[in-house]
C-alpha cells in the first residue's frame, strides 16, 4: 500500500523537478479556482496541471491528446484530474487539522530537500507558465507529505478479516508465484531490424551471447557497465514489458522483440528463481491488506471530496495555458 499512498507525492515530485530559476512575480498569485473556502492560486493549479500532464504523456505518449476518453478529450480529463488532486490534498489538510496530524521537523526537512532536489529539469517554457519558485514549492511538497500521513491514518482504521485474507491467498497463490518469479536475463539492444535478425539468429545458433553483446549492443550505459547487459526482473514485468505470453526457459534466446522503430531486443534467460511458499504467502497477505485498506482510504477521501464545492474563476480560467 505504501506505493499507492505516495501517489500524490509521486505525481508532484515526478513533474516538479526544480524551480529555482523562476521568479514569483507576474500573475502567479491570481486566484483561479475556489474549493470551499480555499483560494487556489494560478501557480498552485499550474504545478498540479503540469505534473498531471506529464503523468498522462508518460502513460500514453504524445498521441494522448488525440484520444477519446469516453466522450472526454485528454485536455478535459487532465483538467478534471488536476482539480480532483487539489481537492484531495485540501481534504487531507482539513482532516489533519481536525485529527492533530502534522509533519515532524524531519518530514518538513525532507519536503524542503525534495523541493530543492527536483529543481533542474523542467524546461524554461514550463517554468514560465507555472510562475513558481522554491519558496512557493516547499508548502506544496509539505501538503503532499501531509496527504500521505492522512492516508496512512485513515487506512489504519480498516481491519482486515483473517478468513478473507486466507481465502485470497488460496485463490491467488499460483498467480503470485508466477508474477514474482525472478528472471536474470542478458539483453542485446540494436537499432535496426536487419541487424536484430542477424544477432538473434547467431545467438539462437549458439554463439556466445556476451560476445554478441559487446559486438552489437548500442546502449552506451549497458556497454560501460560490468554486467554486459544483464539484469534481473520479475516474470510479470518481463511479460508485460516485452509483450510475451510466456517467459523463456533458462538458456533459451528470444527475439528480436520490436519495441519501436529503432529499438529491438534479443533476450536470453540466464537464471530463474521461484519464490518460496512462505514468500508467496507473505506477498499475498500484504497485497490483500493493501487492497482492502486502499479501497477503504480512497472511499473515505472521496466522500470528503464529494462534499466540497468547486468554483472556477471564469475571468481568468479560460486564459490558463496548457503544457503541450
* pLDDT single digits (tens) 56-91: 998 888 889 999 999 999 999 999 999 999 999 999
Same domain, 136 and 22: yes
3-state secondary structure of 79: helix
Same domain, 84 and 201: no
Same domain, 207 and 96: no
Burial 203-220 (b: 16+ CB within 10 A, else e): beeeeebeebbeebbebe
- Dihedral angle of Cα 52, 6, 288, 285, to the nearest 10 degrees: 150
173-188 pLDDT tens trace: 999 999 999 999 999 9
User: Is 210 part of a structural domain of the chain?
Assistant: yes
User: Is 132 part of a structural domain of the chain?
Assistant: yes
- The predicted pLDDT at position 229 comes to 80
pLDDT (tens digit, 0 to 9) for every residue of the chain, 324 residues total?
A: 444 444 455 555 544 443 333 334 458 889 999 999 899 999 999 999 999 999 999 888 888 999 999 999 999 999 999 999 999 999 999 999 999 999 999 999 999 998 887 667 778 888 889 888 889 989 999 999 999 999 999 999 999 999 999 999 999 999 999 999 999 999 999 999 999 999 999 999 999 999 999 999 988 777 666 556 899 999 999 999 999 999 999 999 999 999 887 899 999 999 999 999 999 999 999 999 999 999 999 999 999 999 999 999 999 999 999 999
- The predicted pLDDT at position 133 comes to 86
d(CA 82, CA 258): 34
Same domain, 151 and 202: no
- Does residue 233 have a cis peptide bond before it, meaning omega lies within 30 degrees of 0? no
User: Is 174 part of a structural domain of the chain?
Assistant: no
User: Is 115 part of a structural domain of the chain?
Assistant: yes
User: Is 34 part of a structural domain of the chain?
Assistant: yes
d(CA 277, CA 140): 43
Q: How many domains does the chain have?
A: 2
CB 293 within 8 A of CB 158: yes
Same domain, 133 and 18: yes
- The predicted pLDDT at position 224 comes to 63
Same domain, 70 and 119: yes
User: Is 165 part of a structural domain of the chain?
Assistant: no
Write phi, then psi, for 121 (nearest 5 degrees): -105, -5
User: Is 281 part of a structural domain of the chain?
Assistant: no
Same domain, 155 and 292: yes
Give the CATH number, domain containing residue 81.
1.10.4030
3-state secondary structure of 126: helix
Same domain, 8 and 152: yes
User: What's CA 61's distance to the chain center, in Å?
Assistant: 14
Could you tell me the residue range of the domain that residue 229 belongs to? 181-273
Same domain, 145 and 7: yes
User: Is 278 part of a structural domain of the chain?
Assistant: no
d(CA 194, CA 161): 56
Write phi, then psi, for 47 (nearest 5 degrees): -60, -50
Same domain, 198 and 124: no
CB atoms within 10 A of CB 151: 27
Amino acid at each position: 500500500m505504501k506505493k499507492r499512498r505516495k501517489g500524490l507525492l509521486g505525481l508532484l515530485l515526478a513533474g516538479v523537478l526544480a524551480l529555482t530559476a523562476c521568479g514569483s512575480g507576474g500573475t502567479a498569485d491570481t486566484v483561479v479556482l475556489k474549493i470551499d473556502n480555499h483560494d487556489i492560486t494560478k501557480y498552485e493549479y499550474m504545478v498540479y496541471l503540469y505534473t498531471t500532464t506529464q503523468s498522462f504523456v508518460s502513460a500514453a505518449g504524445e498521441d494522448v491528446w488525440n484520444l477519446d476518453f469516453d466522450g472526454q478529450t485528454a485536455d478535459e480529463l487532465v483538467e478534471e484530474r488536476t482539480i480532483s488532486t487539489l481537492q484531495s490534498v485540501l481534504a487531507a489538510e482539513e482532516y489533519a487539522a481536525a485529527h492533530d496530524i502534522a509533519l515532524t521537523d524531519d518530514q518538513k526537512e525532507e519536503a524542503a530537500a525534495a523541493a530543492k532536489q527536483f529543481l533542474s529539469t523542467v524546461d524554461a517554457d514550463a517554468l514560465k507558465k507555472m510562475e513558481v519558485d522554491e519558496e512557493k514549492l516547499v508548502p506544496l511538497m509539505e501538503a503532499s507529505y501531509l496527504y500521505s500521513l492522512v492516508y496512512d491514518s485513515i487506512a489504519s482504521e480498516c481491519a482486515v478479516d483473517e478468513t478473507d485474507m486466507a481465502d485470497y491467498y488460496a485463490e491467488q497463490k499460483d498467480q503470485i508465484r508466477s508474477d514474482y518469479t525472478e528472471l536474470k536475463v542478458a539483453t542485446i539492444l540494436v537499432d535496426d531490424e536487419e541487424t536484430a535478425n542477424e544477432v538473434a539468429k547467431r545467438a539462437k545458433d549458439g554463439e556466445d551471447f556476451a560476445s554478441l553483446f559487446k559486438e552489437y549492443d548500442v546502449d552506451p550505459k549497458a556497454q560501460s557497465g560490468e554486467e554486459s547487459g544483464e539484469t534481473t526482473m520479475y516474470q510479470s514485468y518481463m511479460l508485460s514489458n516485452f509483450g510475451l505470453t510466456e517467459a523463456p526457459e533458462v538458456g533459451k534466446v528470444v527475439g528480436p522483440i520490436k519495441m519501436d522503430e529503432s529499438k529491438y531486443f534479443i533476450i536470453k534467460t540466464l537464471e530463474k528463481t521461484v519464490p518460496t511458499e512462505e514468500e508467496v504467502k507473505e506477498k499475498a497477505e500484504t497485497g490483500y491488506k493493501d487492497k482492502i485498506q486502499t479501497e477503504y482510504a480512497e472511499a473515505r477521501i472521496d466522500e470528503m471530496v464529494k462534499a466540497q464545492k468547486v468554483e472556477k474563476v471564469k475571468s481568468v480560467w479560460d486564459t490558463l495555458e496548457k503544457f503541450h
